[in-house]
Structures are given as structure tokens and as C-alpha cells.
């Protein structure tokens, strides 16, 4: 496959994984020219997995978008690239399974998946991501999210 980074056609498969009960196979590839890693999908149906955005428009699922958001949230955090890669794989797999029936999933559902996985990996990254993703309206909302995270939120409020 052609490397999206340098255009080289020579790559090696570094990981191959069956998703959603065999409906799809995801392959992580590494370009032999520049070392760039990218993902290819093989599916039974030639129908692309779509993301429904907030404004109801649909766009093809893009791992890179999740990757960008996660990388930004984890900037300067003590988390290895290996763990980040695994995290993104987990998010991607969970999204594929969740959206299996219609081959589409809302951006909000994907955002929730990212938050769920991030919160288990790194609390600071979770807060960073949540503050951008959920567009906290005010300080109270932000504080509530942190309290929820710490499990100290008063259920009466
Ligand atoms: Zn390349």
C-alpha cells in the first residue's frame, strides 16, 4: 500500500487484528521507506464506517483524528508511545464493535469511548480531553467533572 506520508509502496504489516466477529480486519502497517505507521482495513462489505457529527453530517471514520486528540491530551504526560498506540487501538476496536450494526457511530459516542479509555490511563489527560471535548460552559461544570472523576460528587446536587 502507498505510504500516506512519503508515497513509498513498500511496507510491512506489524499487526493484524480481526474486528467485530470477523466482519473486518485491521492491519497496522509500517512504511519501509520512512517508518510512518498507518492503518488499513479489509471488510466483507465495501461500505465505509462512518461517523455522525454533531451537525448530523457523516464523514468517514478517521483514526488520525482520534490520534490527534489523544496525543494533544497526553502531551508531556509520562505515557509511552506504545501505550498511546494501544489506547488508540482499543478505542478503534470498541468503536467498530459498537457501531457494527449500522456501520456508523455518533461522534459523541466516540468521544465517550476516548474519555473512558483516557480516564483509565491518565487522569490529567482525561481532564484535558474532557475540557476540550465537552466545552465546559463554566467553572462549576469543570469542577463537577473533576469531582466525578474523583468519585466525590454529591449525588444530591
Ligand atoms: Zn513512508
Q: What are the tens digits of pLDDT across the range 41-72?
A: 876 655 678 899 888 999 988 888 898 899 98
Average pLDDT for 111-124: 91
CA of 14 to the centre of ligand 1 (A): 14
Give me ligand 1 centre to Cα 2, in Å. Answer: 8
Distance 129 CA to ligand 1 centre (A): 30
- Region of poorest pLDDT, from 30-44, 56-70, 87-101, 136-150: 136-150
**Strand 24-31 relative to strand 58-60, pairing:** unpaired
pLDDT for residue 79: 92
Q: Which residues surround ligand 1, an ion (CB under 5 A)?
A: 3, 5-6, 8, 31, 33-34, 36
Query: Residue 40 C-alpha to ligand 1 middle, in angstroms?
Result: 14
pLDDT given at position 27: 92
Q: How far is the CA of 143 from the centre of ligand 1 (A)?
A: 44
Q: What is the pLDDT of residue 70?
A: 92
Q: Which residue has the higher pLDDT, 26 or 11?
A: 11
Cα 38 to ligand 1 centre (Å): 9
Question: Residue 32 Cα, ligand 1 centroid: separation in angstroms?
Answer: 7
Q: How far is CA 13 from CA 17, 45, 89, in A?
A: 11, 22, 15
Give distance in angstroms: CA of 35 to centre of ligand 1.
6
- pLDDT for res 153: 46
Q: How far is CA 150 from CA 34, 60, 74, 118, 119, in A?
A: 43, 35, 19, 14, 11
Gyration radius of the chain's alpha carbons: 18
Amino acid at each position: 500500500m502507498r505510504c500516506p506520508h512519503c508515497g513509498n509502496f513498500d511496507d510491512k504489516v506489524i499487526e493484524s487484528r480481526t474486528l467485530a466477529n470477523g466482519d473486518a480486519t485491521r492491519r497496522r502497517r509500517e512504511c519501509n521507506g520512512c517508518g510512518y505507521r498507518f492503518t488499513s482495513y479489509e471488510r466483507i462489505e465495501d461500505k465505509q464506517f462512518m461517523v455522525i457529527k454533531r451537525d448530523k453530517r457523516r464523514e468517514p471514520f478517521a483514526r488520525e483524528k482520534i490520534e490527534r486528540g489523544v496525543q494533544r491530551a497526553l502531551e508531556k504526560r509520562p505515557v509511552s508511545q506504545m501505550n498511546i498506540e494501544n489506547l488508540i487501538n482499543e478505542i478503534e476496536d470498541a468503536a467498530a464493535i459498537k457501531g457494527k450494526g449500522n456501520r456508523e457511530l455518533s461522534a459523541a459516542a466516540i468521544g465517550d469511548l476516548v474519555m473512558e479509555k483516557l480516564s483509565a490511563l491518565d487522569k490529567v489527560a482525561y481532564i484535558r480531553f474532557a475540557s476540550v471535548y465537552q466545552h465546559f460552559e463554566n467553572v462549576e461544570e469543570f469542577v463537577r467533572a473533576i469531582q466525578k472523576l474523583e468519585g466525590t460528587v454529591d449525588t444530591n446536587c
